[in-house]
Amino acid sequence: MEWVIGVVVLLLSAVTSAVLITPREVRYEESIDIDAPAAALYDHIRLQERLMRWSAWPSETGSACACEGPDGSVGARTVFMTKTGQRFGHQEVVALDPECSVVLTLTSKGPPQTPTVAFDLEPLSPARTRVRLRFDNRIARPFNLVLRLAGIVRWTRAMHRKDLEGLKRYAEPPHRTYAGEPASELMAA
């Protein structure tokens, strides 16, 4: 019986150590060059009605979306709902720098966290722009370990890459809407 208690204590110590050692911060940056002017991309990102046309999130998560508030302004929200119409979170525009950046935050019923995504626009020419997506999130313990073990951190980054590819596909001629194609197909197109 003592060995069982020893094993349990050892396992609890290992899990506690893993939770304490696993980083709570998730930060990364992705970028893509798009053949479109910064002004057009700025509108495609800040206007939530447009953003939902190219974003991978609705199709990948099976959620429905609706806009609240003055679209394109600080405070505008994209509300996420289940197929049965239950609201489970929202994305909100929290900062705008005309033709330079759009910052969004996410609030959901998931684990306690504070995700922020910023789209920074760098004109490379009058008709070409580099879009940088910066993601910053702080996840509460023990969810910092759980989300990493479950692959949610990797999945989120892959979704952000799909978002940038979707924006490119949406903004460049022939102006197709994104339909959740795998990244390999998008890169070949």
d(C-alpha 58, C-alpha 41), whole Å: 20
12-26, 56-70, 120-134: which range is least confident on average?
A: 12-26
Q: How many CB atoms lie within 10 A of CB 108?
A: 13
pLDDT in tens, 51-94: 999 999 888 888 888 899 999 999 999 998 888 888 988 999 99
Decide if pLDDT at 18 tops 60.
Answer: no
Decide if pLDDT at 135 tops 70.
Answer: yes
Decide if pLDDT at 4 tops 70.
Answer: no
Percent with pLDDT over 90 in the chain: 51
Rounded to the nearest angstrom, the gap between the alpha carbon of residue 29 and the centroid of all alpha carbons in its chain is: 11
The structure's pTM equals 0.81
Q: For the residues of 114-129, what is the DSSP string, one character each?
A: --EEEEEEEEEETTEE
Q: What are phi and psi of 73, to 5 degrees?
A: -115, 160
